[in-house]
């Protein structure tokens, strides 16, 4: 399908069954609103702050660190010298706990920033729009705008939907929210643009989330809600927590390899220590052991291989 910014105004109107002067009639607009849904970005259901924080711990490496902190704590509780200072008994556990908490806090902060950016995008939507309906210009709630509506635009207006310009008079918009361009972009309904031109060079189009800085124009709405450029960006940001970037996937794969390598080395060193110590796997004790679970030579007789 030919992109909207390349189509002529006449072809765009014919495709959407719109009249550039009269606009849609009321029954047409109501039927399209029912079929297309309201022109607004869907609200994402955000998890609670506690659930979001705990989700940062659902990682194999983080869970391994938590297990290591628990073991280090138990080891500190069973220290040979009960009068040893706190740092020598629980220093390792405290260091691991700090690392885990900082990692979770950083992930939580990044998710909060992403949600704040999404809220900012929603605020860019215009609350109202001037629309031609049945030959009369009406001020409607932006959520009631549908594809095929004719927008009347002038300086100071926030644009309620993505639209193909039909006519322009010294017209320019500010598109920094979409393209990052800080300067006004001149628009011309009759400009010639290429099919693959970037968003910022589509001078025959206006977009949701941008605003008019000068001039007047009439435009045909071609996309609303999540079908707009702003809506597509919102959908991508909403999906950020469910999908991973290629870099995140590689980091997770690398982390899992490091984790399994460390576990394998730990098992080998444990087995090597037993072999070097010439001790059997179990220790036979003459009486039940009290905490700490370290049998003394008086309590246990270690079996050694006969020479």
pLDDT tens for each residue of 247-287: 667 767 777 787 788 788 878 887 887 777 655 444 444 44
Residue 240: pLDDT band (50, 70, 90) is low
DSSP run (H or E) holding 49:
helix 49-55
Average pLDDT across the chain, whole number? 81
Task: Classify strands 162-174 and 205-206 as parallel, antiparallel or unpaired.
Answer: antiparallel
Are 224 and 177 contained in the same domain? yes
Residues 121 and 44: their CA atoms lie apart, in Å, by 13
Are 49 and 195 contained in the same domain? no
Yes or no: say if 9 and 165 are a contact pair by the CB < 8 Å rule: yes
* Inside any domain, residue 246: no
Are 68 and 120 contained in the same domain? yes
Are 107 and 140 contained in the same domain? no
Closest CA to 186 of 175, 197, 198, 195: 175
Are 28 and 169 contained in the same domain? yes
Peptide bond into 181 cis (omega under 30): no
φ/ψ of residue 216, rounded to 5: -130, 155
**pLDDT higher than threshold 90 for residue 30:** yes
Angle subtended at Cα 220 by Cα 39 and Cα 19, rounded to the nearest 5 degrees: 115
Are 22 and 92 contained in the same domain? no
* Inside any domain, residue 94: yes
- The whole domain housing 75 covers 42-124
Give the tens place of pLDDT for each residue, 77-87: 776 666 777 77
* Inside any domain, residue 276: no
* Inside any domain, residue 261: no
- Measured torsion, CA atoms of residues 260, 266, 270, 276, in degrees rounded to the nearest 10: 120
Are 21 and 166 contained in the same domain? yes
Neighbouring CB atoms inside 10 A of 3's CB total 16
Are 84 and 160 contained in the same domain? no
Task: Classify strands 211-223 and 150-154 as parallel, antiparallel or unpaired.
Answer: antiparallel
Are 17 and 156 contained in the same domain? yes
**pLDDT higher than threshold 50 for residue 301:** no
* Inside any domain, residue 284: no
Yes or no: say if 115 and 94 are a contact pair by the CB < 8 Å rule: no
* Inside any domain, residue 244: no
pTM: 0.59
């Amino acid at each position: 399908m030919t992109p909207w910014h390349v189509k002529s105004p006449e072809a765009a109107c014919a495709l959407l069954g719109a009249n550039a002067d009269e606009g849609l009639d009321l029954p047409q607009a109501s039927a399209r609103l029912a079929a297309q849904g309201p022109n607004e970005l869907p609200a994402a259901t955000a998890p609670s702050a506690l659930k979001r924080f705990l989700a940062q711990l659902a990682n194999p490496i983080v869970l391994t660190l938590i297990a290591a902190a628990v073991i280090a704590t138990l080891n500190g509780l069973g220290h040979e010298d009960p009068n040893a200072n706190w740092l020598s008994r629980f220093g390792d556990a405290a260091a691991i706990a700090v690392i885990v908490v900082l990692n979770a806090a950083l992930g939580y902060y990044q998710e909060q920033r992403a949600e704040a950016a999404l809220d900012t995008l929603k605020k860019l939507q215009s609350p109202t729009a001037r629309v031609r309906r049945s030959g009369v210009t009406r001020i409607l709630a932006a959520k009631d705008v549908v594809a095929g509506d004719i927008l009347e635009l002038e300086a100071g207006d926030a644009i309620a939907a993505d639209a193909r310009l039909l006519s322009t008079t010294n017209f320019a918009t500010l598109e920094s929210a979409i393209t990052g361009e800080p300067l006004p972009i001149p628009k011309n309904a009759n400009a010639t643009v290429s099919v693959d031109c970037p968003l910022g060079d589509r001078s025959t189009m206006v977009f949701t989330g941008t605003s008019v800085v000068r001039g007047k124009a009439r435009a045909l709405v071609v996309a609303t809600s999540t079908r707009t450029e702003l809506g597509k960006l919102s959908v991508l940001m909403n999906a950020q927590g469910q999908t991973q970037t290629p870099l995140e996937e590689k980091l997770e794969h690398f982390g899992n390899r490091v984790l399994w390598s460390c576990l394998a080395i730990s098992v080998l060193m444990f087995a090597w220590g037993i072999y070097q110590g010439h001790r059997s796997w179990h220790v036979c004790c003459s009486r039940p052991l009290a905490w700490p679970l370290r049998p003394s030579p008086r309590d246990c007789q270690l079996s050694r291989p006969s020479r």
